[in-house]
Amino acid sequence: MKCLCRYAIRVCITIFVVLDIMTSVESLLSEVSTILRSRLTIKAADEAFFGGKQVYTNIPILATSSVVSTGGSNKVFAEIANLKKENMAIREELVQLRKLIEQMNICKEKRLKAYAEKKSKKVQSVDIVAFNKI
């Protein structure tokens, strides 16, 4: 009888431990499920974009503050630097084009004013001639 009680106690303890483990696993799963869904979405997008290939980055597993640049040895960093230079050149050209458009608008306004003055002088002279004929 004593053995049977010990066995029953062990079975009960085992059941409680298993139930406790299952609840902790379920709670972990519920916490992680949102992260898993977003990662699966990202994974599906990567597979759709890259055609099922695995994409690995060449980023060292160090803190970003302690990473030392190797002076463009990485192709990605070199490409980023080239794109930044190209972006700066485009911005400079854009500033020059804006200045040119501004100058053209100023010249256009001057020509319109001169044309308007010319027209008003002609109208005045026609009025004077017409007045003199009357």
Structure confidence by residue, pLDDT tens digits, 55-106 = 566 655 555 555 555 554 678 888 888 888 998 888 899 989 988 888 888 8
Place of tokens 């804006």: 98
DSSP letters, 71-117, are SS-SHHHHHHHHHHHHHHHHHHHHHHHHHHHHHHHHHHHHHHHHHHH
Q: Give this prediction's pTM.
A: 0.33
Which two structure tokens, joined as six digits, stand for 88?
């700066």
And the tokens for 49?
Answer: 């974009």
Summarised one tens digit per residue, pLDDT across range 33-67 is 767 677 777 777 777 777 766 656 665 555 555 55
CA distances from 19 to 23, 29, 68, 76 (A): 6, 15, 50, 51
